[in-house]
Structure 1
Amino acid sequence: MSSVDRVREAVAAIASRQQEMFDLLEILVSQPTVSPPARNSDEVQGILADELTQLGFEVDRWTVFPGDDNIVGRLTGTDSKQANSLIINGHIDVAEVGDDAGWTYPPFSLTKGSDGRLYGRGVADMKGGMAASLFAVKMLREHGVPLKGDLIFQSVIGEEAGEAGTLSAIERGYTADYAVVVDTSNLHMQGQGGVITGWITVESPVTLHDGMRARTIHAGGRVHGASAIEKMTKIIASLQDLERHWAVMKSYPGFPAGSTTINPAVIEGGRHAAFIADRCALWITVHFYPNESYEEVVKEIEDHVNRAAAADLWLRENPPVFRWGGRSMIEERGEIFPSLELDVNHPALSVLKSAYEQQLQQTPVVDMSPSVTDAGWFAHAGIPAVLFGPGELAHAHAVDESIDPEQLVQFAQILATFIATWCNQAKQVEE
């Protein structure tokens, strides 16, 4: 039997044996890997590790945070040096549920609703994508489809809480010629903007009693002191000016005007009503476009704020201090989601589009995600990538999260065809 026939049989089996995929999804949904609080994925990661081992993958497991391990499986191709390699990436954590009284169906039990959709926390974001991806690989393996290039399957932790599960896998040395992040995209092929959080802190070198306010420079006295809270208002105003400037001067196809934003999300300052505030910290969230790096955006913000501070007599001598990003919103109160500028001319995207058209007999939508995912970490590391997965954003994180089971089947069939094609093509030789 030819390889083409084997692929065709594997794709057909995805549909005829789809209940097996739903059974795997049921197991994944039953594990309440909500993040935060996180630190609860060890059991389900063990299940996935066993599945990968049974499929012939060499499995690597390591702890990112206690109770939260990354799982990466590598299936070494028959001609790794010459053929294309591929990363399939997804996160195993899911959004919080909170009070489940508003749910029609139990959040941690996969349920088929009267409308035919599958319900449960994570089915759209993104245990559905994980189950379908693994099932696609399983059908390729069972039907003897050979792969010349390496296939790397990643189940990472922490995406929901801005934790660096995917970054940890990259730092561990996992790379490939292309990466598909199978997060929620409704079968659109997408790039994305980026997000970074940061802390801006203003601090006085001295702590003054409230009775000294009449003698500070703010009130007209001769003491060179000031309220850190009041000085922070000047920084906030400067951020608003920069945000308005971005709204006018920056744009990117697929995004509404003004999508680059600076949100003053949290402010913390002062110690007691009997003292002049000697410290104030502002937590901001910054959204930027796919053609911008977070390093460039950070520099732009710092330059602008420092110029505003230099125009103030007190801030000139007590300038703001910046702390950007972090590897966990839980541990560090900071996160980074790098942007992904989609290379629409990349040969892997052409192969993926062809697989989509072959399966669905229509042209895929190539656009930009209004959200952010771990896909940007691959671009930041120089690994070409695309966001492509089942599920709709409107259902992710929602009460009664759900997904169309037919779309899960379609996604698995497209991905199986893509893997079988891409991982059997020769690497492009750089000139």
Structure 2
Amino acid sequence: MFYGCQQDRLKLDSFEQRVVEYLCRQANSLTNCAIYALKRAARQSGQVDYNYYDLDKHLKQNKHYKCLFSQVAQQTLMSVCESFKSHYEVIQLWYRGELEDKPKMPRYRKSGGMSGFTYPAQHLRLNETIETGLIRLPLGAEIGKLEGIKEIYIPAPKNIHPEKIKEVRIFPRNRCFYVEWVYQRKEKQYQLEFKKALGIDPGVKNWLTCVSTTGDSFIIDGKRPNFWNRTLNREVAKHNKGQSGDCRLSPSGERRCAPRAWSKKLALMTEKRNRRLSDYINKIARTIANYCIDSGIGTVVMGWNQGIKQKANLGKRNNQNFYQLPTAKLKERLKVVLTEIGVNFVEVNEAYTSKASFFDGDFIPKYGEKPDNWKSSGKRIATKLFRTAKGWLVNADAQASANILKVASIPSVNLDEITRGSVTCPTRLNLYPTVSV
């Protein structure tokens, strides 16, 4: 049995929005109280203690605890204990020398800020939701004394049956409130063949270039998310230009001004950009998943270099496009969606896959193990054009995707069906087609 998570923007009236904001602030304060209690216990005992039951007993009389519904407060404390448990497990890796940097303990949240909170399904009266279309959120005893209300109602999702909802999460982001519905899903079985594979080469303008062993190839365009990022960067630059306040002279005589406060306009534009990117990522993941189902592909190999953005030096403009493109988020989303339908998702190091010539049978060395006399048989003569030793002109990213399949070296996968035609002119998919009137 699988669990899905659907995120929707929460639209409330003014009173309910004030109540949700109040609950977010109380959850934020309770989180800081829990972090303080665990850090103090760690200083006194000399070891990290993440026992939830002791923490719940210690903060039972806390005013922020009482302002929240009991189950909501307990879920908040559980999340703090889980973060300290994760810190303990990660720091053990650092002690064994498996991590370079020492991980820090969970930090306090901003004082007076807002944090998300969670309602389990057992207190939501989901049987009433079928008739009313609203989900009841019970409130704590303290807010009932102050405001005289015991619950508020939020609209239920129209595409999820209320009986399948297991958890409701509400959290703030960029002056907006969002709700996440965690629901139960049925497992579906598909007829897939693991000997059929799809190679994926991530990039910038060509975000994903895909080549399959069935002889097909296509490109997921990255120009649209780059345009969204440039539009937001342009507005941020206009916002910070011509600052008159908080300016000082540096010791060298240069006039330096502190950035202005984040305005409501920029917050809304940032949130709009984030929603567009999330929607685009979901569309890409679903497109590739549907392609695997239709073609019977059971193996997907994606090229990935861990920490590639930390040392990138591609120039000012290319660095900006490269850093702001959420390729890691797309990879994780692809991994979740493909694993759910039964596809074997494999990550390989893509070092030298863009330089080596696939059709000339070049040996592809591992990262850091390249021989001094290694040289590619072909040459990249343009940004997206590669010339082989035979004089063939092929798409550079497409032949890199074929090399990624070669590097994976999966025994059951046969690369003989990857032809010159599939690598020369891949299809560019438009996931946002324009409708002509």
Question: TM-score, structure 1 length as denominator?
Answer: 0.25
More helix by share: 2
Question: TM-score, structure 2 length as denominator?
Answer: 0.25
Larger radius of gyration: 2
| Greater relative CO (CA pairs within 8 A, separation 6+) | 1
